[in-house]
Amino acid sequence: MTARDLEMEDYESIRDWLSNRSGIHYPEHKRDLLRKRLGRVQLAFDYRDLGSLLRDLKSGARAEVEMAVLSAASTNHTYFYREADILNRMRETILPALSARDEIRVWSAACSTGDEVFTIAMLIAEALGPEALERTSILGTDISAPVIDRAEQGIVSARQIAEVPEALRRRFLSPLGLGQYAVSAAIRDRCTFRRMNLKTTPYPFRNSFQIVFLRNVLYYFDPADQIATLEAVHEVTEPGGWLITSVTESLRGLPTPWVQQSNGIFQKVRP
């Protein structure tokens, strides 16, 4: 076996480990992308080749390396007010129905650096007012520990907030200099961040959610994991609750219990 053949075999084993561990699936046409991301891990931890990296992943001896591979493989490019059209539909059609609830509970799965979580809090404050925001709990989860750490800091860049309406920017974001902004305490206090693997089911929540955001993550899963994730999310959503996906992620052809109401918006129909 040539050195190139051996590297290809090690790459395939790491790709399988990644899929089995997290559900993140890299198809053949994304080989170069994953290889480049694994290269960063090699450089950071001084691995001479993929084989030595694979050995540590299989042995479980270095948790920090496992976290680095999971973080490198997951896509963490995000920003506030992403896909504004779908957020506007949520504000107009979903939030008014929650205005009288004693508690508003929202889960942002695969939340990355928290941009989506903070955006949801801003939307609720804008649409329903500060009193409703005080009754709101928003959970953000992600498989990557580094991005969860960043989210908890509540410090964001000018690039991340470029789409935030100016009035909300002045209200909820304070400039720190050098292109950095701090998210206000009024927003941060309603947001909790935790590391979580969506493939580990059933999900450990005591209370169900009225809205779940599952955006820009399903297309990294193979069909079996997509179905399992959608069913697990359905279980922790209250009857009549909502699932919001990306407009680019279609559930068409997947046997799930969700009922589509509009592009990217699905509902758990009451029995």
Q: What are the average pLDDT values for consecutive 10-residue runs of the chain, which has 271 residues?
A: 82 88 81 89 90 90 82 77 92 94 96 95 96 97 91 95 94 95 98 95 95 89 91 97 87 89 91 73
Same domain, 134 and 244: yes
Q: What pLDDT shows up at residue 271? A: 73
Residue 127's CB: how many other CB atoms inside 10 A? 17
Q: What pLDDT shows up at residue 223? A: 87
Q: What pLDDT shows up at residue 135? A: 97
Measured CA to CA, the distance from residue 92 to residue 126 in angstroms comes to 12
Query: What are the Cα distances from residue 209, in Å, to 18, 30, 86, 192, 246?
Result: 28, 34, 19, 14, 19
* Structural domain boundaries enclosing 13: 3-73
User: Residue 176 domain-assigned?
Assistant: yes
Measured CA to CA, the distance from residue 244 to residue 212 in angstroms comes to 6
Q: What pLDDT shows up at residue 134? A: 97
Using the structure block, give the residue that is written with the tokens 């609720």: 124
CATH number at residue 143: 3.40.50.150
Residue whose C-alpha is closest to residue 219's, from 14, 10, 17, 29: 29
Residue whose C-alpha is closest to residue 145's, from 70, 255, 257: 70
Measured CA to CA, the distance from residue 177 to residue 230 in angstroms comes to 41
Same domain, 41 and 166: no
Measured CA to CA, the distance from residue 191 to residue 132 in angstroms comes to 14
What one-character-per-residue DSSP string does 144-178 give?
-HHHHHHHHHTEEETTTTTTS-HHHHHHHEEEEET
Same domain, 157 and 44: no
CA 223 to the chain's CA centroid = 18
Residue 52's CB: how many other CB atoms inside 10 A? 14
Exposed (0-12), middle (13-18) or buried (19+): which is 237, by Cβ within 10 Å? Answer: buried
Same domain, 37 and 92: no
pTM: 0.82
User: Which of 44, 73, 102 is where one domain is finished?
Assistant: 73
Measured CA to CA, the distance from residue 254 to residue 266 in angstroms comes to 13
Domain count within the chain:
2
Q: What pLDDT shows up at residue 67? A: 78
Q: What pLDDT shows up at residue 77? A: 66
Same domain, 15 and 94: no
Question: Which 3 state secondary structure label does DSSP give 240?
Answer: strand
User: Which of 73, 99, 122 is where one domain is finished?
Assistant: 73
User: Residue 151 domain-assigned?
Assistant: yes
Asked whether 155 and 102 are in contact (CB, 8 A), the reply is no
Q: What pLDDT shows up at residue 188? A: 97
Token pair belonging to 31: 């080989």
Same domain, 68 and 88: no
User: Which of 73, 97, 126 is where one domain is finished?
Assistant: 73
